[in-house]
């Protein structure tokens, strides 16, 4: 059974940082690209950043350039999302998702999803 479990969310003041983790099991992790998405109240789920299965390529969503850094440790089956200089508009539930092949930005392209972790940024 494939599982993706996000962690690391919480309440943080604007300007702070968080490191989210996505731990996977039940899949050949090194064959999967991983994307982080977020869902804010009243908005559609948005692609944030993605990483190729080798880790050699990363892709940023249009709204998050410069503050979001994705990385992966294939030996641990885990992907990380470092978020710096957090803003109140970053408040959302953050999800990781995995798919065979290259990184995609559309939610329907992903095969497996985690349950999400809440990030709340206070002003």
Q: Which residues pair with 59 in a beta bridge?
A: 50
Name 59's Cβ contacts closer than 8 Å, sequence gap at least 6. Answer: 49, 50, 51, 103, 105
Residue 67: predicted pLDDT:
92
The two structure tokens encoding residue 85: 């200089």
Provide the CA 110 distance to its chain's centre, in angstroms.
Answer: 13
57-104 confidence digits (pLDDT tens):
999 998 887 899 999 999 999 999 999 999 999 999 999 999 999 999
Task: For the chain, give percent helix, strand, coil, nearest 5.
Answer: 5, 50, 40
Helix (H, G, I), strand (E, B) or coil at 50: strand
Q: Which residues pair with 82 in a beta bridge?
A: 19, 69
């Amino acid at each position: 059974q494939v599982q993706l479990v996000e962690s690391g969310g919480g309440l943080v003041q604007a300007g702070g940082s968080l490191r989210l983790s996505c731990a996977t099991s039940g899949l050949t992790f090194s064959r999967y690209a991983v994307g982080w998405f977020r869902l804010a109240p009243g908005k559609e789920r948005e692609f944030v950043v993605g990483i190729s299965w080798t880790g050699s390529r990363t892709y940023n969503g249009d709204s998050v350039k410069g503050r979001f850094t994705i990385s992966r440790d294939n030996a641990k089956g885990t992907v990380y999302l470092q978020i710096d200089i957090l803003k109140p508009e970053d408040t959302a539930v953050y999800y990781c998702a995995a798919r065979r092949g290259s990184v995609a930005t559309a939610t329907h392209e992903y095969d497996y999803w985690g349950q999400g972790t809440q990030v709340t940024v206070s002003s």
